[in-house]
Amino acid sequence: MSSDTQVPDPRSARDREVRRVLWQILVLNIAVAVAKLVFGYLAGAVSMLADGLHSLLDGASNIVGLVGLHIAAQGPDEDHPYGHRKFEAIASVGISMFLFLSATEVLREVVASLGSEHEVNPTPVTFVVMIVTLVVNVFVTRYESRAGRRLNSGILLADAKHTQSDVLVTVGVIVSLVAARLAFPSIDIIAALVIVGFILYSGFQIVLAAFQVLADAQAVDPSKVEELAMGASSVTHAHRVRSRGVPGDVHVDLHIHVPPEMTTREAHEAAHDVADRIKRELDGVTDVVVHVEPEGHHEDD
């Protein structure tokens, strides 16, 4: 016997909030990218152009996130009984693809610069632009990370990691511009290569996190689920805990043992009690399936 307790997807308000954050970040990313590209071109700074391209792709990744979120927000249907929430993880992988594309473009710029005389002429305005964009990126990273944790959004957390790499990259660009002012223009090429390393590292981190979801990695601590189940009335044993899903939409199933003399109604109520406890105590759990077995029933754990 099993108790399958499902509730309607309560996340429409959450999805609206995530979309609002993504639109805000998109506007900021485009503004930052345009500033870096224009002044990087005027200064002849490869690292600043690379950083501008990175920021422009940040904006593209925001659009990917918005599309992925729109699909993920669709409820369960005949072909997708568990809903579409994994599209958030798929969108995160899409964001990482933009990072890898950005790294490729930076390397192309570096190769092109090596084949010609490389001269960097940063002006005071160039430094002002980079410092302002650094402040913006720090704000975006913190704002998006907090929103991602609060809303349990894999898309926002992945995009925040993307923007976090921008912060490190921008610091590297500022260092290279200072070196150019001190007559060490070759540092600009080195900084661009360091940027590539940061971009690739961020991309692989996002991919690994998304693959954990797509591969149905354990989403909650089994021992915590067992502890909550054992706190329910008449439950003598809990085992075979499994979980899957994305942050904010986790599915759990487990087996419990109850006294064999319990009636079907009593066993059913015990299963509902266990499911309610788990959903109440574990953030993000939206669906719990409880399989009820008589005490003493021997089955491989």
All structural domains of the chain, each given as residue ranges with its CATH number in brackets, are 2-214 (1.20.1510.10), 222-294 (3.30.70.1350)
What pTM was computed for the model? 0.61
Q: How many C-beta neighbours within 10 Å does residue 283 have?
A: 11
Distance, C-alpha 184 to centroid of its chain: 38
What is the total residue count of the chain? 301
Rounded distance between C-alpha atoms, residue 268 and residue 290, angstroms: 9
Cβ distance 216 to 255 under 8 Å? no
Per run of 10 residues, the mean pLDDT along the chain (length 301 residues) is 46 79 86 82 73 74 79 78 79 78 75 60 76 86 86 78 74 75 69 78 82 85 92 88 85 92 90 92 88 75 49
Which residues have CB under 8 Å from 217's CB, separation 6+?
A: 244
Please tell me whether residue 194 adopts helix, strand or coil conformation. helix
pLDDT of residue 116: 55
Q: How many whole angstroms separate alpha carbon 196 and alpha carbon 43?
A: 20
Kindly report, residue by residue over 223-259, the tens digit of the pLDDT. 999 999 998 888 999 999 999 888 778 899 999 999 9
Cα 184 from Cα 145, distance rounded (Å): 36
- d(C-alpha 37, C-alpha 55), whole Å: 9
CA distance 139 to 228: 39
Per the prediction, the chain carries an average pLDDT of 79
